[in-house]
Chain A
């Protein structure tokens, strides 16, 4: 058992070191390794590439990975930040996320003709990867640019959107049985559960503050981890996804005085178990299935890029950015990552069609390659656009003049 785990962590370390070398996010690399060295690895007559197996311990680690990823999402979410930039975030974020979500829904409906599937496709394709995009912003030296505030604001909005969307989706999928009515009530029940927890949470936060008042590091880590497991169990018994339980706990603890310490403490856990989650996600994918999802992935990629350029440009205009800055916004928010994978994982655990996992993996990998190119070329794209507009104006003048 330890041998398998050891190999997994060796691979994860290699992927993360390689990602650091090329200054890129490790998620696509981890998934790739999972696909090509996992149980579904290509087998040649002279050698068997499948180095790692899916064992119970791997599954446990990857489940913990999801819990930590969402716990961290909740923890990092500070209401203060949203209030400070609220106008920008709400305006830009609503336009951008709204347009992207409906584009995803439409795409899903066209391909699957069922609402649950359409929702999952929308979930996979709507929310961008803040991990990849912030890395790219730092690399392209754009962190100080005025438009970066809007880009990061939109990503905060997407995080909030994801929190609500995940809870509704999980309630909807888990209670999905016979009729639409039952599933919709399931979704609404999950949503109201969250609202109740969120409002009770503030009270609970005060109690927790007292409980965790000036604790030792040891107590804080163990108590918080226990709470994380308990909230996952509680959520499961209430027929809401355990991921949502973790997310809610994060949101509640974000209101306590210990939040800074907790973020510091749990970042390593998120990185450690998250790496296993992304690897094991890759391991569940048979790359032969890539062929069957080729058409939907191609359409999703084309529509995501085109839709994001349009949505980004519109929200930039709405927030008062013009010219090259607007082009930068439109070209920046293209990469997809952790949330696409989490939604696909949720769909798989709810017993949905097996096509979503290879689709999400291929989609994330292609966009991971495309997004840096697009971001670095945003200026030439903008210049091209300007030239095109001049040209069209000229031809118009010639035509009307003549």
Chain B
């Protein structure tokens, strides 16, 4: 991956251009109104070959699918996004986990571990409909089955992983 080009589109939003290894490029435009448009440019072309528009929610869902929140390819047993020291992890709360039944504030995640809970995704019993709590407050209670998105340093993420899934590295 040869890098991401970022450009301001005054009055419209922001543009991110990602050059793929194949020479093709993908452009994501995030509009100020919230929706996203995705463009595909074949190699050496300055006009997009195709494009489509997503609502904010759809874009987040598709983003997390691409990020591997739902299914991780076997090649990468553990999903890891390492930006310098920062790690972002998607963890499923196990039925017998330490954190189950406790709130973010009770556990003092930020104070004790330096961990930030970015979002919590909940499935209903049929495993279909999803609700997402973005940046949940300290009173939010963990329950088994939730997918927790956390950010922090590698060491503290590993500690939290033990608490949430009962499994270590």
Interface residue ranges, A against B (CB under 8 Å): 76, 81, 84-85, 130, 134, 137-138, 141, 143-149, 152-153, 155-156, 324-325
Interface residue tally for chain B (C-beta within 8 Å): 17
The 3 closest A-B pairs by CB, nearest first: A144-B27, A144-B39, A156-B10
Bits for B1-20, please: 1 = Cβ < 8 Å to A, else 0: 00000011111100101000
Please determine whether A145 and B8 come into contact, CB atoms closer than 8 angstroms: no
Most chain A CB inside 10 Å of its own CB: which residue of B8, B10, B29, B51? B10
Q: Is the CB of B48 within 8 A of A144?
A: yes
Residues of chain B within 8 A of A152, CB atoms compared: 9-12
Secondary structure call for the A interface: helix
Are A143 and B10 touching (Cβ within 8 A)? no
Given contacts A146-B46, A325-B46, are A141 and B11 in contact (CB under 8 A)? no
Q: Are A85 and B11 in contact (CB under 8 A)?
A: no
B10 in complex: contacting residue of A81, A145, A324, CB < 8 Å: A81
What A residues does B41 contact at CB under 8 A?
Answer: 144
- Which listed residue (B11, B12, B37, B46) contacts A145, Cβ 8 A? B46
**What 0/1 pattern do residues 67 to 109 of B give for CB contact below 8 A with A?**
0000000000000000000000000000000000000000000
Residues of B within 8 A of A76 (CB): 11
Residue from B15, B17, B29, B51 with most neighbouring chain A CB atoms (10 Å)? B15
Chain B residues contacting A144 (CB-CB under 8 Å) are: 15, 17, 27, 29, 37, 39, 41, 48, 51
**Is the beta-carbon distance between B39 and A141 smaller than 8 angstroms?**
yes
Contact B46 A141 (CB under 8 A): no
> Residue on A with the closest CB to B13?
A143
* Complexed CA–CA distance, A141 and B39 (Å): 9
B169 interfacial by beta-carbon distance below 8 Å = no
Residues 38-49 of chain B, each 1 if its beta carbon lies under 8 Å from chain A, else 0 = 010100001110
Complex contacts, A148 vs chain B, CB 8 Å: 9
* B23 → A minimal CB distance (Å): 16
Instruction: Looking at the assembled complex, report how far the CB atom of A151 sits from the nearest CB atom of chain B, in whole angstroms.
Output: 9
Q: Does the CB pair B39–A138 fall under 8 Å?
A: no
Chain B residue with Cβ nearest A321: B46
B12→A81 contact, CB < 8 A: no
Q: Which residues of B contact A81 (CB under 8 A)?
A: 8, 10
Q: By the criterion CB–CB under 8 Å, are B8 and A155 in contact?
A: no
